[in-house]
Amino acid sequence: MTAVAHTSYGALRGDSTGSGACGDIVVFRGVPYAAPPTGELRWRPPQPVPKWTGVRDATAFGPIPPQDISPERLAKRSLTMSEDCLTLNIWTPAADGNRRPVLVFLHGGGQALGHGSAPLLDGAGLARRGDIVVVTVNFRLGVLGSLYAPDWHGPGSTNLTLRDQRHALQWVREQIGAFGGNPGAVTVAGQSSGAIALSALLAGGCDLFDRAILQSGGLERVRSMAAASSVAAQLLATGILTRAEEPGGAEILAAQRCIDPGFVPPQGPFHPCIDGDVIAEHPLVVARTRDMPAIPVLAGTTRDEWRIFDAVLDEGVFTEQYVRDRAHALAGDGHDADAVVATYRADHHKLRELAGAMVTDYHFTAPTEQFVRAHAERGNAVFRYELQWPSPRAGLGACHDSCLPLVFGNMDAAPSLAGDDAAARHMSDVVQELWLEFVRGGEPWERYDGVGGPTMLLGAETGIERGHRAGQLAIWENRYPAYG
């Protein structure tokens, strides 16, 4: 089955092939939302798509953004990689005149990895189940999307990843009606670095969406201007940007590997930065001090986010001294690292688990709680959750990324994250229905109303709890460095 959608830029042909059991869902793949950011546009904000005549084929995914991935892996997944990557993918029950709710998803990957055509993010099942339109987006990554070098590349060259995302959302507002979507009912969801970007868009006053879902965002990772300048200096030291000719994409990727990621948690060298243009202040500061768009927000984290990252470390690494060093790195000078360790020791007897729990809270849970608490206290609808569904892999618990198969229902795409048995699929059913209720404009559970407010715990026993882990989260109040 094929279908044609008529946008103001030209007509697009999609099909339902490759959707498996969801054969009644039409997919438009590789849809351009901006001009290719190549040549003179490499370090520039996204530009409008040139119009075309006839019907443009949209049955194949577009190239993924340049990233550190092997040619063998690309070939295995039938993918290509190119700087000409500013495309999105749309799953819809029909390209008709119905006005269905829209879910736009911003993928994670530290703003250095990932793409909207990943099997885990296939939107067919979610679109079919909820009678909604699902959109995934490709945007510039790594140095090409985040280099802070305004003196070198001029104004408008900073935070290109955020500029791409904002441009894509403008495209959705203007064009999604051609795909059976309602441009006045757009929810944007972001996971991991996608959630960090979404917090930055909210803090910047972006009004191109009507609801927001933040999943597992390390919201403290928005970088200061000084931190971003340090990363740029490391790249400039390689010499690839100071010669007469522009470097090739492969050279840029090679230079990225020279950038120091820092101690735990990593510095996030490619996350958004406070550039005084797209981002004037850190989102955590904005949330506390002034209004953001007054839209409903659903936000949360997994219980054991950091365990999947610590899994690569040998057991012998986790000594008492290492745990204290990690606590000090997180808490900062002037704070008692031993007191932090003591607080977590009551609930975590293994040093590996204790060390991971501290980073989970510092990097993910506490900043998310602080961000949405401030939003709730200004009278906005907020719905807090913690995912407690464990990975079937021993020791990972409810780890980072485990929310993805549950939300999209693509359990078989990553069975090691959340499982693929009957119980896991039932958990996915529960999560999907709650998310869809929010996307449709409803209230999926009781509103979060500040410190100790109701939090939905999603696991073997799903339900609301008040005061959930408020004591441990309070440790990280005022622990984040000054931003500027």
405 pLDDT more than 90 = yes
pLDDT of 294 reads 96
pLDDT band at 242 (very low <50, low <70, confident <90, very high): confident
60 pLDDT more than 70 = yes
Please write the tens of the pLDDT for every residue from 303-334.
Answer: 999 999 999 999 999 999 999 999 998 988 87
pLDDT band at 17 (very low <50, low <70, confident <90, very high): low
pLDDT of 305 reads 97
pLDDT of 216 reads 98
130 pLDDT more than 80 = yes
pLDDT of 23 reads 56
Active site residue 400: yes
478 pLDDT more than 80 = no
Active site residue 305: yes
22 pLDDT more than 50 = no
Of 363, 400, 402, 468, the catalytic one is 400
pLDDT of 484 reads 43
Mean pLDDT throughout 467-477?
Answer: 86
Please write the tens of the pLDDT for every residue from 136-163.
Answer: 999 999 999 999 999 888 889 999 999 9
> CB neighbours of 215 closer than 8 A, spacing ≥ 6?
189, 190, 191, 192, 194, 195, 299, 300, 301, 403, 407
Whole-model pTM: value is 0.96
Mean pLDDT throughout 210-233?
Answer: 94
pLDDT of 263 reads 64
Measure the CA–CA gap between 188 and 39, rounded to whole angstroms.
Answer: 30
> For residue 74, is it left (φ>0), alpha (ψ between -120 and 50) or beta?
alpha
Of 83, 220, 305, 353, the catalytic one is 305
Domains of the chain and any CATH numbers: 1-295 (3.40.50.1820)
Active site residue 271: no
Percent of the residues in the chain that have a pLDDT greater than 70, as a whole number = 97
424 pLDDT more than 60 = yes
Please write the tens of the pLDDT for every residue from 264-280.
Answer: 666 789 999 999 999 99
Of 16, 192, 193, 216, the catalytic one is 192
86 pLDDT more than 80 = yes
> For residue 131, is it left (φ>0), alpha (ψ between -120 and 50) or beta?
left
480 pLDDT more than 90 = no
pLDDT, averaged across the chain: 93
Pick 47 or 242 by higher pLDDT.
Answer: 47
> For residue 451, is it left (φ>0), alpha (ψ between -120 and 50) or beta?
beta
19 pLDDT more than 50 = no
pLDDT of 366 reads 94
Percent of the residues in the chain that have a pLDDT greater than 90, as a whole number = 80
pLDDT of 407 reads 98
Please write the tens of the pLDDT for every residue from 358-387.
Answer: 999 999 999 999 999 999 999 999 999 999
pLDDT of 20 reads 45
21 pLDDT more than 80 = no
pLDDT band at 236 (very low <50, low <70, confident <90, very high): confident
Of 172-181, 250-259, 399-408, give the lowest mean pLDDT range. Answer: 250-259
